[in-house]
C-alpha cells in the first residue's frame, strides 16, 4: 500500500546524492491556483516563477515575482479558433526568451493537428504566436500529434519531443518524435523517430538534462508490462548537436523501466521528471494502484534517473476522485511543489502542494 511520508522534522542543508531521502507533503501548503488543467511551472533567470496551464480551450500563463505567494491575472499565451490550444509546456532559453510549446487540437474535422509555439521576450507577460507550425499531423484524431516538451542543450540547440500517431495511419501505434532547432526556434529540422516500440504507444515525453550532462526523457510505455497498461520508462538521448539517432526500440539498452515496484495490472501514465540540487531525481505519474481513478504518485530515483522508489501521494484524494496531468516544480534545495488537475472540497481545477525533502530514516 502507498504510504504518505511521515513527519521527520526539518533539515538545514540539502541531502547528498547518495543519502536516502523521502518527501513530506505539507498539508498546510495545499492551495487552489484556479480552473483548468495540465499545469506546469518553471523558475525564470530573473527569479520569477512562470506558471502555464490550459483552460477554456486556451493556453494561459501567470507570473509571480514573490515566489508564488501571489499570482497576477492570467495572460493568454495561445489560442486556436478551430479548436483547443492544449498541452502548454514552458522553456526559458539562455538569452531569457521564453517559449511555450502547445498542441492545436481541431474540432471542425478540417484543420490538422499541429505542434506550435508562442514566444515571450518579457518573461511571460506578453506572447506572440509563431505563424508557421513546427509540425503538422493529420486531420483525424487517430492521426494526431500530442504533448510537446523541449530542452535546450549547453550548445544552444533546442530539442523538441512529442507523441506522434501521424506516421502510423493503418495501425494504433505511436512514436516519440524529435525535432531540433539551432536558431532558438526560428527554424526546425525534419522530424525524426526518437523512440518506437512496434505494436505500442510511446507517449507523453518529458526531457531533462541531468547534472552529469546526460539527456534523459521520461515517457509512458503501454507495452512495458506486455498487457497494454502504461508504465513510466526512461530513455537515454544524445546531447551532441544535430546527432544522428537510431530510434530507441523495445529491447534497446537506452530504454529502461523507471521502477519495478508497480504491479503489471496497474495503470501509471503521464510521467513527469525533474532533478533536485542534491542530484536525486524525482518522477511523478498518475496511478490507479489500489484505488478507483488515478492520483499523483511521486517516486525518488538516483542521479542517473534509475531505481525510482519511495512512492508518496502528494494529494490526499478520496477513492474515485481523479488527479491527472501532474507535474513537479523544484522550488529550492529542499522544497518541491506538486501540481495536479483534480477536485478537492468540491473545487475542480489546478491544485498545488509543497513537500519537504527529508532524510529517510530506518
Angle at 278 (CA atoms; ends 3, 252), nearest 5 degrees: 80
290-299 pLDDT, tens per residue?
Answer: 999 999 999 9
Q: What is the pLDDT of residue 243?
A: 67
Between 147 and 6, the more confident residue is 147
pLDDT of residue 345 exceeding 90, the answer is yes
* CB-based contact 320:293 (threshold 8 Å): yes
Q: Name the grid cell of 314.
A: 502528494
CATH class, domain 21-359, is mainly beta
| Among candidate residues 315, 216, 223, 302, the one with its CA nearest the CA of residue 259 | 302
Please list, in sequence order, all residues whose beta carbon lies within 8 angstroms of the beta carbon of residue 252, skipping any fewer than 6 positions away.
Answer: none
Question: Taking 70 as the threshold, does the pLDDT of residue 1 lie above it?
Answer: no
Looking at per-residue pLDDT, the higher value among 10 and 215 belongs to 215
Beta-carbon contacts of 361 under 8 Å, excluding residues fewer than 6 positions away, are: 8
Question: What mean pLDDT, rounded, does the chain reach?
Answer: 94
pLDDT of residue 11: 38
Q: What is the mean pLDDT of residues 259-281?
A: 97
d(CA 3, CA 26): 14
Q: Is residue 117 predicted with pLDDT exceeding 70?
A: yes
Distance CA 78, CA 194 (A): 27
* 307-318 average pLDDT score: 97
pLDDT at position 14: 65
pLDDT of residue 242: 64
Q: What are the CA-CA distances from residue 243 to residues 32, 75, 179, 304, 339 (Å)?
A: 43, 37, 11, 21, 34
Strands 192-195, 175-181: parallel, antiparallel or unpaired by DSSP?
Answer: antiparallel
Is the pLDDT at 8 greater than 60? The verdict is no
152-186: per-residue pLDDT in tens? 999 999 999 999 999 999 999 999 999 999 999 99
Res 191 pLDDT > 60:
yes
**Integer Cα distance of 359 and 362 in angstroms:** 10
For residue 10, the model assigns a pLDDT of 38
**Start-to-end CA span in the chain (Å):** 18
pLDDT at 18: 77
pLDDT band at 226 (very low <50, low <70, confident <90, very high): confident
Alpha carbon distance 258, 11 (integer Å): 28
Amino acid 147: pLDDT: 98
Instruction: Please state, for a pLDDT cut of 70, what percent of the chain lies above it.
Output: 95
Residue 12 in this model has a pLDDT that exceeds 50 = no
Amino acid at each position: 500500500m502507498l504510504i504518505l511520508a511521515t513527519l521527520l522534522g526539518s533539515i538545514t542543508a540539502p541531502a547528498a546524492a547518495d543519502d536516502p531521502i523521502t518527501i513530506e507533503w505539507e498539508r498546510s501548503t495545499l492551495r487552489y491556483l484556479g480552473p483548468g488543467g495540465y499545469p506546469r511551472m518553471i523558475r525564470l533567470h530573473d527569479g520569477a516563477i512562470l506558471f502555464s496551464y490550459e483552460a477554456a480551450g486556451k493556453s494561459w500563463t501567470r507570473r509571480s515575482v514573490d515566489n508564488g505567494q501571489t499570482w497576477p491575472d492570467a495572460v493568454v499565451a495561445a489560442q486556436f479558433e478551430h479548436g483547443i490550444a492544449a498541452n502548454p509546456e514552458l522553456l526559458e532559453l539562455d538569452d531569457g526568451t521564453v517559449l511555450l510549446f502547445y498542441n492545436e487540437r481541431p474540432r471542425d474535422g478540417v484543420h490538422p493537428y499541429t505542434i506550435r509555439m508562442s514566444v515571450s521576450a518579457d518573461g511571460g507577460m506578453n506572447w506572440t504566436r509563431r505563424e508557421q507550425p513546427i509540425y503538422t499531423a493529420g486531420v483525424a484524431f487517430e492521426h494526431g500529434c500530442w504533448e510537446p516538451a523541449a530542452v535546450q542543450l549547453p550548445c544552444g540547440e533546442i530539442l523538441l519531443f512529442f507523441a506522434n500517431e501521424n506516421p502510423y495511419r493503418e495501425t494504433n501505434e505511436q512514436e516519440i518524435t524529435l525535432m531540433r532547432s539551432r536558431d532558438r526556434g526560428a527554424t526546425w529540422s525534419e522530424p525524426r523517430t526518437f523512440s518506437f516500440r512496434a505494436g505500442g504507444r510511446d507517449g507523453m515525453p518529458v526531457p531533462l538534462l541531468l547534472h552529469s550532462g546526460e539527456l534523459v526523457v521520461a515517457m509512458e510505455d503501454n507495452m512495458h508490462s506486455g498487457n497494454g497498461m502504461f508504465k513510466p520508462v526512461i530513455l537515454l538521448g544524445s546531447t551532441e548537436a544535430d546527432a544522428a539517432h537510431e530510434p530507441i526500440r523495445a529491447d534497446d539498452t537506452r530504454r529502461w523501466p523507471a521502477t519495478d515496484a508497480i504491479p503489471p495490472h496497474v495503470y501509471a501514465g503521464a510521467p513527469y521528471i525533474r532533478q533536485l540540487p542534491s542530484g536525486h531525481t524525482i518522477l511523478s505519474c498518475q496511478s490507479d494502484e489500489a484505488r478507483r481513478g488515478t492520483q499523483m504518485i511521486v517516486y525518488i530515483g538516483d542521479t542517473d534517473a534509475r531505481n525510482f522508489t519511495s512512492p508518496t501521494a502528494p494529494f490526499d484524494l478520496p477513492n474515485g476522485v481523479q488527479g491527472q496531468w501532474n507535474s513537479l516544480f523544484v522550488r529550492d534545495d529542499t522544497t518541491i511543489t506538486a501540481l495536479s488537475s483534480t477536485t478537492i472540497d468540491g473545487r475542480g481545477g489546478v491544485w498545488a502542494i509543497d513537500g519537504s525533502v527529508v532524510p529517510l530514516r530506518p
